[in-house]
Amino acid sequence: MTAYLFRRLLLIIPTFIGITIMVFTITRFVPGGPIERMIAEARMQKTGLSSTRPSAGDQNQPLSEEQIQELKKYYGFDKPLLVSYFSWLGKVLTGDLGVSTRYYDPVWDMIRDRIPISLYFGSITLLLLYGVCIPLGITKAIRHKSQFDNISSIIVFIGYAIPGWVVGVLLLILFASHWEIFPLGGFVSDDFQDMTVLGKVWDLLLHTILPLIAYMVGSFTVMTFLMKNTLMDHLSSDYVRTAIAKGLSFEKAVFRHALRNSLIPMATHFGNNISLILTGSFLIEKVFNINGMGLLGYESVVERDYPVVMGILVISSLLFMVGNILSDICVAIVDPRVTFE
């Protein structure tokens, strides 16, 4: 087990280098990077015309060759790929993710501001997910093929078919645009600072409900059916039959014996959910315009703000990998039969 975990931890290193070097390489050969943007900005100031798309090899170059070289040096574009990659990596290892080429803020500060928001949605989602899916799964398993089971299966199924962010769009159109019950997105209202404590809580709640549903849709079905199916597997196993044959009440057989074992796969799933939660979901954050990590990542790609792109990649892939390892540890703790070689 220890050896296995140690190997997994060591594997983070090549994975991390692999991902970052791949994306780093790609981002270097892109038109529309910081230098192109500055050239475009300079041209805009010069001509007063706005052109969003900088075209290479333009006739009236607003910046002199020297200035461009200086800029390239500033952004590390003058050095060969590997050299600048390793200098970037060296900085990352000391905790310096660089400075945004768009907002000129340190990348780490930008990410740090966003993490609590993603975490807020993530943790509530997780809590509700386990709080609702486990009882629902148990009920469905015990009342297999009953009216309740069939009807709830259909509803849960529809949730499985359609992705969470599409549900989000639908919810926004119905409840925010059409009926105007909920706000149109965002994390808090604009006048949040001036509200009373109670008003703040209410405001936050209103902004939370729709995204929360969208977040939950993603894992809800999987979790419910996981619970149901494993419990049913255990209910039909010999040890439960023996327990009932010995005269144990059905209730006790379920809750004392079968349920305990059926919770193992649910625990296994925990790790998967962790990584989902910490990195948030771009799609849902974009739909609801929530300023979490996902939206930051999306915007930085759109704006070609590569230090931020790389920073988000670093943080999210690290979280992802740690989440996977945590998931393995969870399994090993809960299920004594599992030994990783």
Partner 1 sequence: MKLNPLTHKKIRRFQSIRRGYYSLVIFIIMIGISLFAELLINNRALIVYYKGEYYFPTYGQMIPGKIFGLDYEYETNYRELQKQFQAKNSDNWVAMPIVPYGKLETDLKEDRYPPFPPSFQEAHYLGTDNVGRDIVARLVYGFRIAIFFSLILLLANYSIGISIGIVMGYWGGKFDLFFQRIIEIWSNVPFLYVIIIISSIVVPNFMMLILIMAFFGWINMTWTMRTVTYKEKEREYILAAKSLGASNFRILFKHLLPNTVAVIVTYAPFSVSGGIVALTSLDYLGFGLPPPTPSWGELIQQGWANMNAWWISISVIVSMLITLIVVTFIGEAVREAFDPKLHTTYE
- 272, 218 in Cβ contact below 8 A? no
CA dihedral 108, 312, 120, 9 (to 10 degrees): -100
Mask 299-338, x = binds partner 1 (CB under 8 A)? --xx-x----x--xx--xx--xx--x--------------
14 is a site residue for partner 1 (CB under 8 A)? yes
Using the minimum distance from each CB to partner 1, give the nearer residue, 125 or 275.
275
85 is a site residue for partner 1 (CB under 8 A)? no
81 is a site residue for partner 1 (CB under 8 A)? no
Of 196, 204, 190, 222, give the one whose Cα is nearest residue 124. 204
161 is a site residue for partner 1 (CB under 8 A)? yes
26 is a site residue for partner 1 (CB under 8 A)? yes
Residue 7: how many CB atoms within 10 A of its CB? 11
Burial of residue 111, with CB atoms counted within 10 A of its CB: 0-12 exposed, 13-18 middle, 19 or more buried: buried
Q: According to CB under 8 A, which one of 75, 187, 215, 282 is a site residue for partner 1?
A: 282
Smallest gap from residue 131 Cβ to partner 1 (A): 25
- 230, 262 in Cβ contact below 8 A? yes
Smallest gap from residue 66 Cβ to partner 1 (A): 28
Residues 6 or more apart in contact with residue 259 via CB below 8 angstroms: 138, 231, 234
Residue 209 φ/ψ, nearest 5 degrees: -60, -50
Using the minimum distance from each CB to partner 1, give the nearer residue, 14 or 48.
14
Residue 99 DSSP SS3: strand
The single residue listed with the structure tokens 């997780």 is 126
* Cα–Cα distance measured from residue 76 to residue 148, given in angstroms and rounded to the nearest whole number: 63
Using the minimum distance from each CB to partner 1, give the nearer residue, 79 or 144.
144
Q: According to CB under 8 A, which one of 157, 202, 239, 255 is a site residue for partner 1?
A: 157
Of 63, 261, 223, give the one whose Cα is nearest residue 135. 223
Using the minimum distance from each CB to partner 1, give the nearer residue, 125 or 311.
311
Full 3-state SS string of 286-334: HHCCCCCHHHHHHHHHHCCCHHHHHHHHHHHHHHHHHHHHHHHHHHHHH
269 is a site residue for partner 1 (CB under 8 A)? no
212 is a site residue for partner 1 (CB under 8 A)? no
The span of 34-42, 73-81, 124-132, 159-167 binding partner 1 (CB under 8 A) equals 159-167
Q: According to CB under 8 A, which one of 53, 145, 246, 337 is a site residue for partner 1?
A: 145
Which residues are at the interface with partner 1 (CB under 8 A)? 11-12, 14-15, 18-19, 22-23, 26-27, 29-30, 144-145, 157-158, 160-163, 165-166, 169-170, 172-173, 176-178, 184, 232-233, 235-236, 241, 244, 250, 279, 282-283, 286-287, 297-298, 301-302, 304, 309, 312-313, 316-317, 320-321, 324
